[in-house]
Amino acid sequence: MKRLQHSLLALAAMSAAGSAKAAGTGIFFDDFHYADAKALLAGGWKIRDQQGHPGIEHGQWGPDTISIVDDPETSGERLLRLNARTDGTAQGTFQAQLCHQRKYFEGTYAARIRFSDVPVEGPGGDLVVEAFYASSPLKHDFDPQYSELDWEYLPNGGWGNPHSRLYSVSWQTVQMEPWNAFNQVHEEQRALGGWHTVQMQVAAGKIRYFLDGVQLDEHGGRNYPAQPMSINFNLWFSPSGVLPDTKALRRYQQDVAWVLHAKDQLLSPVQVDAAVSAYRKAGTHQVDTVPAMTPALASNCDF
């Protein structure tokens, strides 16, 4: 384990120096040090602009829901910010989703996320979902190749449970209408507003979920992913929990400090933190040496 940690630190230093040896190492890292949201596209990201599941039916998804802002707590660093708003109507709903290329499968996934318990504007209480996940397309109901690994935070509860909670979900397959899901779920039932590091280790038929360095659960079996996935963040409103009897605008924000994937490597939480720290100390804001699939897979940034 110490050898792997040292190799990750060395990798960060080599990347900062532009060493050709870093190519092919299977690392994706991004701390969103971009001038603006448009610059995200050069980093292989896509901002969702298509209507569809999930969220309020006919709600909007668009470029003005994604922004890059200065980190008020860390001088010189930037944050990805997802912005979602609703007045309870489809035309007044704007939800946010950002997706990276569909080329990620086994290994380690991690992200540093600020979950929000309250809106930045308007009354609280909507069933809002703040998520980081990896997924492949659902080609048809009960698609046996469908693959998705989720972190979903519901600060206002919902879906039959009024309490704040964080889901970690491994999907086997699903039917959308009528809803019929086959998955494995862990629920961390507590308020988690603020900064947290979420992590998944995916290998040998097992998915392990970690929150702030502590393993919460282990999934596997039929719920293990079957094909490469894209990396995604989104912020959306569930139609089953929209506040009744108000047209007041409600705005929520979700911030992301960084995201990391190590292809075919199981990194501990300590190793993830060490690798991110090394990249940032070296001034390396993005590394992408995870090869595209052959042929490359479409990354549509929708459900």
- Please count the other Cβ atoms lying within 10 Å of the Cβ belonging to residue 73: 10
Distance CA 277, CA 275 (A): 5
3-state SS string for 219-242: EEHHHCCCCCEEEEEEEEECHHHC
Q: Model's pTM, two decimal places?
A: 0.92
266 domain residue, yes or no: yes
- What is the reported pLDDT for 25? 81
CB 109 within 8 A of CB 267: no
DSSP helix, strand, coil percent of the chain (3-state; round to 5) = 15, 40, 45
More confident residue, 22 or 112: 112
- What is the reported pLDDT for 299? 85
Question: In the block, which residue shows the tokens 């709600």?
Answer: 59
Query: For a pLDDT cut of 90, what percent of the chain falls above it?
Result: 88
| Cα R_g (the chain), whole angstroms | 19
CB 59 within 8 A of CB 88: no
- What's the domain range around 266? 2-8+25-288
Tokens read off for 172:
């086997």
Distance CA 160, CA 186 (A): 15
User: In Å, how far are 32, 33, 185, 232 from 258, measured between CA atoms?
Assistant: 7, 9, 25, 12
* Domain count of the fold of the chain: 1
13 domain residue, yes or no: no
251 domain residue, yes or no: yes
pLDDT surpasses 90 at 271: yes
20 domain residue, yes or no: no
17 domain residue, yes or no: no
220 domain residue, yes or no: yes
247 domain residue, yes or no: yes
Which stretches of the chain are DSSP H helices? 2-16, 269-281
Residues 192-210 have a mean pLDDT of 98
268 domain residue, yes or no: yes
CATH code for position 153: 2.60.120.200
